[in-house]
């Protein structure tokens, strides 16, 4: 977040979103730049962690009813939720999982199972809920520039396709894919091997919403230009416009 603060402030200034969800803060709540963001017109609530993980919700309105984590003993800061203007907002950083035969992948699967349970028991899909995050999984072949290159990895394998399907089964609609059924919509490109220049990308960052809210989504797009700036994140912003009436 330190190295990306100027990029975030510039992006907020140019796009003026009502809400921005962040993942991989890699900083503690104490070191988070609340004052700079407030000067730019944004309140922030964070679930930070030193060096790794960390998630936040930025909003023009002050978020209320903040929930950090899933109420368990998970030591990794990967989830935060709050009410913003009558809508439940969730920012999530799904574990990557490293390798399919690793403890990290075991943790990823357990985290996803806990998430579905937590989401289903905490909220009603009749309510307006938006879930934004780095999901570290592709859902269909359209989400990968080179599916064969990724098949069998922690990002793209039969189990991950099931996990993506489970998100829809618990009542979430993938807004970008719903509005853009044929566009790739990559949100991540590898820093290495000229991944961006060759468009060797993945769509692993999603904005999902309950049906009641998804019906109000009018557009969704990936800000690919942000990935082409100086010292960019390897992820690009995913933007959804809702017509809330």
Distance, CA of 7 to CA of 4 (rounded, Å): 5
Binding-site size, DNA (CB under 7 A): 29
DSSP conformation class of 235: B
Residue nearer to DNA on the CB measure, 83 or 98? 98
234 part of the interface to DNA, by CB under 7 A: yes
Whether 205 contacts 188, CB under 8 Å: yes
Would the CA dihedral through 172, 226, 3, 45 be positive or negative? Answer: negative
Please count the residues of the chain.
Answer: 245
The CA-based angle 75-29-105, given to 5 degrees, is: 30
Distance, CA of 82 to CA of 63 (rounded, Å): 6
Strand partners, 151: 156
- Kindly identify the residues of this chain, within the stretch 52-91, that bind DNA according to CB under 7 A: 52
Residue nearer to DNA on the CB measure, 187 or 214? 187
Smallest distance from DNA to CB 4, Å: 7
Q: For this structure, is 243 an active site residue?
A: no
Residue nearer to DNA on the CB measure, 15 or 194? 194
**List 136, 157, 210, 214, residue binding DNA (CB under 7 A):** 136
Distance, CA of 156 to CA of 25 (rounded, Å): 25
Structure tokens at 221: 């797009």
Whether 94 contacts 112, CB under 8 Å: yes
Site string for DNA, 177-216 (x = CB under 7 A): -----------x-xxxx--------x-x------------
Structural Rg of the chain based on CA atoms: 17
* Region from 11-19, 50-58, 83-91, 166-174 binding DNA, contact rule CB under 7 A: 50-58
Q: For this structure, is 127 an active site residue?
A: no
* Region from 11-19, 62-70, 94-102, 114-122 binding DNA, contact rule CB under 7 A: 94-102
Catalytic residue among 65, 72, 73, 93: 93
Distance, CA of 75 to CA of 56 (rounded, Å): 16
**List 8, 21, 22, 27, residue binding DNA (CB under 7 A):** 27
**List 104, 114, 145, 161, residue binding DNA (CB under 7 A):** 104
Contacting positions for DNA (CB under 7 A): 1-4, 24, 26-28, 50-52, 95-96, 98, 104, 134, 136, 154-155, 188, 190-193, 202, 204, 231, 234-235
Would you name the residues annotated as active-site residues?
Answer: 93, 134
């Amino acid at each position: 977040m330190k190295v990306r603060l100027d990029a975030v402030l510039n992006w907020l200034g140019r796009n003026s979103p009502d809400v921005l969800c962040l993942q991989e803060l890699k900083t503690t709540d104490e070191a988070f730049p609340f004052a700079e963001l407030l000067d730019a017109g944004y309140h922030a609530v964070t679930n930070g962690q030193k060096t790794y993980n960390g998630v936040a919700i930025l909003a023009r309105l002050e978020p209320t009813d903040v929930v950090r984590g899933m109420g368990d003993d998970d030591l990794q800061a990967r989830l935060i939720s709050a009410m913003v203007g009558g809508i439940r907002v969730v920012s999530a950083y799904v574990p990557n999982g490293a390798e399919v035969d690793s403890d990290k992948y075991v943790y990823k699967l357990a985290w996803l199972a806990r998430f579905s349970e937590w989401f289903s028991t905490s909220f009603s899909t009749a309510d307006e809920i938006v879930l934004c995050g780095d999901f570290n999984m592709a859902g269909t072949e359209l989400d990968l520039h080179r599916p064969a290159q990724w098949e069998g990895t922690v990002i793209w394998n039969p189990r991950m396709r099931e996990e993506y399907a489970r998100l829809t089964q618990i009542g979430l609609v993938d807004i970008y894919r719903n509005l853009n059924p044929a566009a790739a919509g990559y949100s991540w490109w590898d820093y290495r091997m000229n991944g961006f220049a060759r468009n060797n990308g993945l769509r692993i960052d999603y904005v999902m919403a309950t049906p009641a809210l998804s019906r109000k989504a009018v557009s969704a797009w990936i800000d690919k230009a942000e990935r082409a700036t100086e010292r960019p994140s390897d992820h690009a912003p995913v933007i959804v416009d809702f017509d809330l009436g």
